[in-house]
Structure formats: C-alpha cells, structure tokens
Chains A and B, each alone.
Chain A
Amino acid sequence: MNQHPQLDSTGRLTHLLSIEGLPREIVVDILDTARSFVSVAERDIKKVPLLRGKSVFNLFFEPSTRTRTTFEIAAKRLSADVINLNVGASSQSKGETLLDTVANLSAMHADMFVVRHSQSGAPNLIARHVAPNIHVINAGDGRHAHPTQALLDMFTIRHYKKEFPGLRVAIVGDILHSRVARSQIHALTTLGVAEVRVIAPATLLPADVSRLGVHVFTDMVTGLKGADVVIMLRLQNERMTGELLPSAQEYFKNYGLTSEKLAHADPQAIVMHPGPMNRGVEIDSSVADGLQSVILPQVTFGIAVRMAVMSILAGGQP
C-alpha cells in the first residue's frame, strides 16, 4: 500500500490526513500560500473564484463549532458550495456505514470531504475509498491528528517569530488525549525548531512520548524556562472526574498558565491555545486576554490556512 496516502504518485498533496509523513516543502508551501489568503481577507470582497462550481462537504461525526465554521468560511471564500452534515444525528444513527455515507455523498458530486470523527483513521479510510478526483481533509480524528490546527499554529508562530530554527516551543497540558499536540509536534519537528518541550502530569503523557523527539517536563516552571512559544492545550472536563486528575483546582495550581508562571518564559514569548479555552483551568484570564496572547489571531489565520489547503488540494494536476 502507498506509504503516504495523502500524496499522489507524483508527490503532490491530494488529501490532508496528518502532518506525519508530509515533506517539509509541502508544509512550507501551505504556509506561504496562506499568507496570500490573509491579504484576501483584508479586502472589501473577501472571495476568490478558485473553487467555483465545487462542492465541499463538511462531514462532522463529532461536534465542533470553531473548526467547522472556519472550514465553512474558508470554502465559501474560495467560492465553493458548502454542505454541512452533522452525521451523528442522521445516517449513522440509522445504521449506515461510514463508507456508505461517503458513497452516497459522492453520488451527489462531492469534490471534497472535510471529516471529523472520534475514531482515529476514519478520514484515512475515506481517502482510500473515494474516487481520485475527490479530496479528503482530516479535521480531527480520535487521538490521531488534527493537521489543519497544527498548520495554523505553525502559521501563527511564523507570523510572530519569523523563523523556526532557534525557537523553543512548550506544549502544556493533556498530551495523552490530544490529536492537536501530536500534529503540532510533527509539524514543529518537520520545520526544524530547536526544541519541543511537553509539560504535563505523568498521567497525561503517552508512554512513548520521548520517541517523538521532545523533552518531557512534569514541572511547569522548569519546562517554561526561556520558552519562545507556549501552547496551552484544552483540558477536557471528562478527564477531571476519573483517576487521571484530582480536580480542576489542583490542575490549575500546577499546570494552569498564570502571569507568574509565564514570567519564566522568554519575555517576548507568545501564548497560544487551540480553543475552546477553560478559563481558570488551563489558563488564567489575565494571560488569555494579555499582551502575549495570540489566541484570537490563531482563529483568523485558521481561515487563511484552510483556504490554502483546500486550494492546493482541489487544483488540477500539471
């Protein structure tokens, strides 16, 4: 089987399923193209005609507001027709299989599927079964990957820090359950940052985390020392009741980002969060709304990055 199902036989990107296995040139090309879409968003008419006549299906098997909305805006700004399907509420509950759902939508002349699913590998499975002219974008699958989130994070980092080599990036929080962290680590490594650190309680670290080439810290202050970029992860509430964490208060005390803890990072450090934020759990409001926070620009850049990915995928093959 093809090692990298997201690349076609000539090495061009045809699906975006994960950052892992993506050549550096493709990652950089996406970031460069996104920069031009940022300038499109600053105009009166924020639309370009690239995907005119194409249909993009947002196929969300798991709830999401921000990601689905930014994909929808991105597709509309490319002049595509967008169909939003909250599949959990329809076909799946009637017993239709994932591939049958996709086959039916393909028969409605879909050109692109944006897929979010709680099962790791679901977008991969779809990509392997669609016709060659149909493109699949992973909008988050299980604990596996969330490549467009990682790409918009890389875009944000490059926007504020200009270059990747030399940067020390700390990712803080629930690494174990986070597809965002996994994709970020692959992206940061691909782009050649000096150091990726992960900071989390031992119970929220995957057993094989150091295999990803990161430095692991369980003490936040030590881990933040001199960091240029601090990425906070969302702590999902359902993790708090189980055996992994004692309480939200306890977590905030040890791993919540406060101004005091942030003072240990580089004075020019930027603070990022993929959203939605739990204020007072993983991040203090004074930091979330503070001068070093770039959390809202992340959202804006997310649209440009998703436009870039869609327009790179949907173009003809030279």
Chain B
Amino acid sequence: MTTRLPDVEQLLEGLIQQIRGNIKPDTGIIGIYTGGVWVAERLHAALGNDVQMGTIDIAFYRDDYDRRGLQGSVKPSDIPFDVNDRDIVLVDDVLYTGRTIRAAMNELFDYGRPGRVMLAALVDRGGRQLPIEPQFVGAQVTVPDDQLVSLQRADSGSLQLSLRPRTEDKLQS
C-alpha cells in the first residue's frame, strides 16, 4: 500500500486561512520541537508581527521517560511572553496519539495560566490515545500503522513530509 502525502506549502496555506480571523492580535503561537517549530515559524511569518512566537521541547514532560530516558538532544524551551490569560495556539507537525500535546500542555501550564489553548497541526493521522482534538488542521491523512510520518526541512528551508517504517515503539505526536 502506498500513501501519497500532501504538499506542505498547500497545507500551510490552508492552515493560515483557518487561523487568520480566528485569533486575537495578541495570541501567542508556540511550536513544539522539532517539526512544530518549523511550522510555527511559517505561521508566525504569515500572521504578522503582533502575534508572538515561542518554542517548547517536551522532553522533560514525556510520559515514556521511565521506559526510554531522555532521547536525543533536548532544546531549551523559550516562551518570551507572558502566557497568563493569553490565547495560545500550540503547533505540531504530525498529530497522532496526542501524547506530545498532553506533555506540551503540562509544560505550558508551568509558565502560567493561559486564557485559551488551541491546537494547530499540519497533518492529522488519527490514532488518538487521549481526548485531544485540533482546532486547525492542514489535512487528514491515512497512514498504515507500521509507518511514521515526519516533517523534513531541506537546507533551502523548504519543508516536506515523508514516510518511513516504524522501527521501534516510538512515541509520536
């Protein structure tokens, strides 16, 4: 079975359309490392200067630390604005089990008490294990269970979705 993955530029265009008009001028956009940060950067550039951007690395909040430890290099989270009472759009590249989003929300609440938290995902591949639903989605995709969807960024900065076989029981978005 082959799966065709959509073009990232078109997905971004769709996401920007959905988000624009549905957020306040002082809404904060927070990208989840790594792919979510790339998507958030693009959204941020398109949505204008008033919208502020931050980044989150969920490594310290993952629910599989006891099984797998810290993996890879952890990036410092950076939220350069006050989250208290502010609307926040969390941004991830591939929405899957929902565990990444749970971890990101836990971390976000250690920065303060946001007014409203929304979720934007470039693609939603289903397979949720938690009651988490996005407000803004580029596209729904159907992917075999033994495949992982990931976002790649070329040196030129262009973004592309790709599929690879699942080699181990990896927690995915």
Contact = CB atoms under 8 A, between A and B. Distances in A.
Interface stretch (A33-41, A80-88, A227-235, A285-293): A33-41
A189 interface: no
Interface residues of A, number: 23
Identify whether the interface residues of B are mostly helix, strand, loop, or mixed: loop
B170 to A, nearest CB: 9
A311 B60 contact: yes
B74 A312 contact: no
A39 B60 CA distance: 12
Nearest to A318: B68
B111 A33 contact: no
B61 A316 contact: no
A50 interface: yes
Contact of A45 (B61, B69, B75, B111): B111
A312 B71 CA distance: 9
Interface residues of B, number: 24
Interface of B: 57, 59-61, 64-71, 73-78, 106-107, 110-112, 168
A316 B74 contact: no
Contacts of A45: 110-111
A66 to B, nearest CB: 25
A276 interface: no
Nearest to B74: A36
Contacts of A47: 110
Contacts of B59: 36
Nearest to B169: A318
B66 A316 contact: yes
Contacts of B74: 32-33, 36
B68 A316 contact: yes
Given A36-B60, A38-B76, A50-B65, A311 B106 contact: no
B68 A39 contact: no
19 contacts: A35-B76, A36-B76, A36-B77, A44-B111, A44-B112, A45-B110, A47-B110, A49-B60, A50-B60, A50-B65, A311-B60, A311-B70, A312-B69, A312-B70, A314-B69, A315-B66, A316-B67, A316-B68, A318-B69
Contacts of B73: 29, 32-33
A315 B110 contact: no
Contact of B61 (A38, A43, A49): A49
Interface string A69-108: 0000000000000000000000000000000000000000
